[in-house]
C-alpha cells in the first residue's frame, strides 16, 4: 500500500482567542503505530486512544498500519480535546472512508467520546471565529454558540457516525437541537427589597451611572452584600459588541451560557476570599485561562470580605483597573485578556466586625491596623466611592413600605449613561483628565470648595480627578447640564471617605 495523506482544518484556544490548526494525517506501511506530533499537550496526545476507540465503536475500523498525525503550525502548543473530530475525519479521508470532495472547505471542532459521541469544548465561539472555511462542523450542543460568529455555515451532529453518514451523502446533516427553555436561574434581586440605607442606595446608583468603583465598609448585617447584589439590575443591557466579548470570555472559561449562546446581561462575579492570584487575575502553568476579573468583563466584580483576600492578590487588580485588560506572560507565549469591570468591595471595620461607633470591638489595636492595611494605598485610591454603612434603624426595618424599585433607578442610570455617550464615553469614570476642566467646569462656589479641600491636604491630584468625575455623574443624574454645582461636589466628597475616616468609622 502506498502512503496516503489528507488534511482538514480545525482550531485551538489560546487565552480567549482561537488559532487555526491544520490537521494532517499520514497513513503508511509499517508496524501498527499511532503518533501525534506538532507540540500537543497531554490531553491532546490522548486523542490517539479516544479517536481509535470512537472509530472502532462506530464500526468504521481503524487503519492497521503506521499512522502519523501532524498538528501545524508546530510552534503553537495544542491543548484539549477539541481536535479529536478533525483527527478522525483526516484519518478517514486518508484511508478513503469518506470522499475527499465532501470535506473540502470544511472545518471540524469537537471532542470524541469512546462510544463515538461528539462533545462540545470550551471556547467554541472563538474557535469558529478563527476558521476561514465556508463550513464548520460542531457538536449539536455548540451549534447556537457557533452561529454567533455569523461567518460560516454551521453543521452539527451528535455522534461520529452521523458525521460520516452526512459526509458520504447517505443521510442529511442533523438539525440542531431545540434551544432549551430559559430556566428561572439566578434572578437579580430588586432594590425595593432594601429599606432605609439612603446613602448606600445612592452610592450604588452613582456607581452604576458613572462606572465608579465602590468600597462599602460597615459591621456585619449592615446591608453591604445586599446592596452589591442588586447592582447588576441597575446596569444597562450589554451592546452587541459587549455581549460577544463577554460570551467569548465565558465560553473560554467553561462557564455556562444562556440557551441562545449569547450573554446579554452584565455578569456578576463574587469569588471567595481564598481565591489565588491565578483564579482571580487569570493564568495557569500550561493553559492560560481567564480569571474572575475577565469573567466579570462588562459587569461587576464583587469582593466580599475584601480585607480577607491576600494583599498580593488584591494588588494584582491595580493594573487591570487602569487599563481594562490584563497581560499574562508565560515561557510559551503571552496573552491579553479583557478585564473592564466595575469593582465593588465590602469589608468589616475590624476582624471581629464590631468596631466603629458601636464601641464594642474586641480586637487589639494592632489587629485592627493590620486588618485594614491589607488594602494598600494605591488600591484604595482606585475607589471613587468609599462609603461607611451602619445597620439600618429599627423603624426602617419594621416599616412595610417598599423602597424605590430597581426599574426606576435603572431608568435614571440609563439616562446618565446616554449623556456620557453624547460625550463619546461609555461612562463618566472614563473622562480623560485633560477633558475634566471642560466637562465638569465647576461653578465658583464648587470651585472654592475643591480648592479648600486640596489646601487642607485631604485630597490628592488623582483624588481631585475622581471627585470631579463623581460630581459630574451626580449632576447628570439630577439632569443638570453645563457647570457642576456646589451640592454635587459636596456630595461627591462625602461619598469618598479617607482611609483614616474609614478606620475610625
* Dist. CA 128–CA 114, nearest whole Å: 24
3-class SS of residue 153: strand
Give the residue carrying C-alpha cell 461520529.
160
Res 495 pLDDT > 80:
yes
Q: How many CA atoms lie within 13 A of 197 on its CB side?
A: 32
**77-81, 170-174, 258-262 — which one is most confidently predicted on average?**
170-174
Counting every residue, how long is the chain? 505
State residue 370's pLDDT score: 80
According to DSSP, the β-strands at 17-28 and 4-14 are: antiparallel
Residue 482: which residues within 8 A CB-CB, separation 6 or more?
441
Res 32 pLDDT > 80:
yes
3-class SS of residue 57: helix
Phi, psi of 263 (to 5 degrees): -85, 115
* Dist. CA 335–CA 287, nearest whole Å: 11
* Dist. CA 93–CA 7, nearest whole Å: 8
State residue 38's pLDDT score: 93
pLDDT band at 288 (very low <50, low <70, confident <90, very high): confident
120-146 mean pLDDT: 95
**196-200, 273-277, 371-375 — which one is most confidently predicted on average?**
273-277
pLDDT band at 350 (very low <50, low <70, confident <90, very high): confident
* Dist. CA 324–CA 329, nearest whole Å: 17
Give me the DSSP letters along 454-466. HHTTS--HHHHHH
3-state helix, strand, coil in the chain (%, to 5): 40, 20, 40
As beta bridge partners, residue 135 has: 106, 153
Res 87 pLDDT > 90:
yes
Nearest CA among 407, 505, 425, 411 for reference residue 472: 425
* Dist. CA 316–CA 296, nearest whole Å: 15
Phi, psi of 72 (to 5 degrees): -105, 145
Res 46 pLDDT > 90:
yes
Please report the beta strands in 206-255, taking only residues with DSSP state E, as ranges in sequence order: 214-217
Q: What is the pLDDT of residues 184-197, one digit of tens each?
A: 555 788 888 887 78
- The secondary structure of 43-58, three-state, reads HHHCHHHHHHHHHHHC
Residue 33: which residues within 8 A CB-CB, separation 6 or more?
66, 67
CB atoms within 10 A of CB 151: 14
pLDDT band at 501 (very low <50, low <70, confident <90, very high): low
Are residues 481 and 488 in contact, defined by beta-carbon separation less than 8 angstroms?
Answer: no
Q: What is the pLDDT of residues 406-436, one digit of tens each?
A: 999 999 999 999 999 999 999 999 999 999 9
State residue 397's pLDDT score: 65
Phi, psi of 317 (to 5 degrees): -80, -15
Alpha carbon of residue 385 to chain centroid: 23
Alpha carbon of residue 419 to chain centroid: 26
Res 378 pLDDT > 70:
yes
Nearest CA among 86, 66, 70 for reference residue 24: 70
State residue 456's pLDDT score: 84
Nearest CA among 54, 56, 21, 25 for reference residue 40: 21
Nearest CA among 133, 132, 134, 152 for reference residue 142: 152
Are residues 163 and 118 in contact, defined by beta-carbon separation less than 8 angstroms?
Answer: yes
User: Lowest mean pLDDT: which of 301-310, 356-365, 429-438?
Assistant: 356-365
Nearest CA among 215, 500, 204 for reference residue 348: 215
3-class SS of residue 144: helix
Grid coordinates representing 167 are 459526509
User: Lowest mean pLDDT: which of 186-200, 280-294, 332-346, 481-495?
Assistant: 186-200
Give the residue carrying C-alpha cell 470512537.
54
State residue 396's pLDDT score: 64
State residue 112's pLDDT score: 96
Amino acid at each position: 500500500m502506498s502512503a496516503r495523506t489528507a488534511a482538514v482544518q480545525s482550531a485551538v484556544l489560546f487565552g480567549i482567542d482561537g488559532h487555526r490548526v491544520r490537521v494532517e494525517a499520514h497513513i503508511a506501511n509499517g508496524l501498527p503505530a499511532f503518533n501525534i506530533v506538532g507540540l500537543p499537550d497531554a490531553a491532546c496526545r490522548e486523542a490517539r486512544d479516544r479517536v481509535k476507540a470512537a472509530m472502532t465503536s462506530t464500526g468504521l475500523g481503524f487503519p492497521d498500519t503506521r499512522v502519523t498525525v501532524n498538528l501545524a503550525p508546530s510552534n503553537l502548543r495544542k491543548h484539549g480535546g477539541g481536535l479529536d473530530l478533525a483527527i478522525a475525519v483526516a484519518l478517514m479521508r486518508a484511508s478513503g472512508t469518506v470522499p475527499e470532495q465532501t470535506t473540502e472547505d470544511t472545518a471540524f471542532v469537537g471532542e470524541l467520546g469512546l462510544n463515538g459521541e461528539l462533545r462540545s469544548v470550551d471556547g467554541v465561539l472563538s474557535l469558529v471565529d478563527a476558521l476561514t472555511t465556508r463550513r464548520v462542523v460542531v457538536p449539536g450542543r455548540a451549534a447556537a454558540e457557533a452561529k454567533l460568529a455569523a461567518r460560516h455555515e454551521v453543521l452539527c451532529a451528535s455522534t461520529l457516525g452521523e458525521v460520516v453518514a452526512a459526509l458520504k451523502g447517505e443521510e442529511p446533516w442533523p438539525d440542531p437541537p431545540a434551544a432549551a427553555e430559559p430556566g428561572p436561574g439566578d434572578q437579580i434581586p430588586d432594590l425595593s427589597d432594601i429599606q432605609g440605607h439612603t446613602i448606600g442606595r445612592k452610592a450604588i446608583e452613582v456607581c452604576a451611572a458613572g462606572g465608579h468603583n465602590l468600597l462599602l465598609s460597615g459591621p456585619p448585617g449592615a446591608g453591604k452584600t445586599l446592596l452589591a447584589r442588586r447592582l447588576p439590575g441597575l446596569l444597562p443591557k450589554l451592546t452587541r459588541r459587549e455581549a460577544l466579548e463577554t460570551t467569548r470570555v465565558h465560553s473560554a472559561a467553561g462557564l455556562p451560557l444562556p440557551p441562545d449562546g449569547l450573554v446579554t446581561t452584565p455578569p456578576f462575579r463574587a469569588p471567595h476570599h481564598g481565591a489565588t492570584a491565578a483564579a482571580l487575575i487569570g493564568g495557569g502553568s500550561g493553559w492560560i485561562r481567564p480569571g474572575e476579573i475577565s469573567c466579570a468583563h462588562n459587569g461587576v466584580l464583587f469582593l466580599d470580605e475584601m480585607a480577607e483576600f491576600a494583599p498580593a492578590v488584591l494588588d494584582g487588580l491595580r493594573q487591570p483597573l487602569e487599563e481594562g485588560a490584563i497581560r499574562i506572560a508565560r515561557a510559551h507565549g503571552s496573552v491579553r485578556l479583557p478585564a473592564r469591570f466595575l469593582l465593588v468591595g465590602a469589608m468589616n471595620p475590624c476582624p471581629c466586625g464590631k468596631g466603629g461607633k458601636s464601641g464594642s470591638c474586641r480586637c487589639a489595636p494592632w489587629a485592627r491596623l493590620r486588618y485594614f492595611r491589607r488594602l494598600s494605598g494605591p488600591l484604595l485610591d482606585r475607589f471613587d466611592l468609599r462609603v461607611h454603612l451602619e445597620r439600618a434603624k429599627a423603624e426602617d426595618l419594621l416599616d412595610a413600605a417598599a423602597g424605590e424599585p430597581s426599574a426606576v433607578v435603572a431608568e435614571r442610570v440609563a439616562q446618565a449613561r446616554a449623556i456620557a455617550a453624547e460625550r463619546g464615553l461609555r461612562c463618566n469614570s472614563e473622562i480623560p483628565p485633560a477633558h475634566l476642566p471642560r466637562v465638569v467646569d465647576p461653578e465658583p462656589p464648587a470651585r472654592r470648595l475643591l480648592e479648600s479641600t486640596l489646601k487642607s491636604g485631604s485630597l490628592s491630584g488623582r483624588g481631585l480627578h475622581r471627585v470631579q468625575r463623581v460630581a459630574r455623574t451626580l449632576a447628570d443624574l439630577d439632569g443638570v447640564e453645563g457647570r457642576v454645582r456646589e451640592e454635587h461636589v459636596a456630595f461627591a466628597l462625602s461619598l469618598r471617605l479617607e482611609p483614616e475616616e474609614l478606620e475610625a468609622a
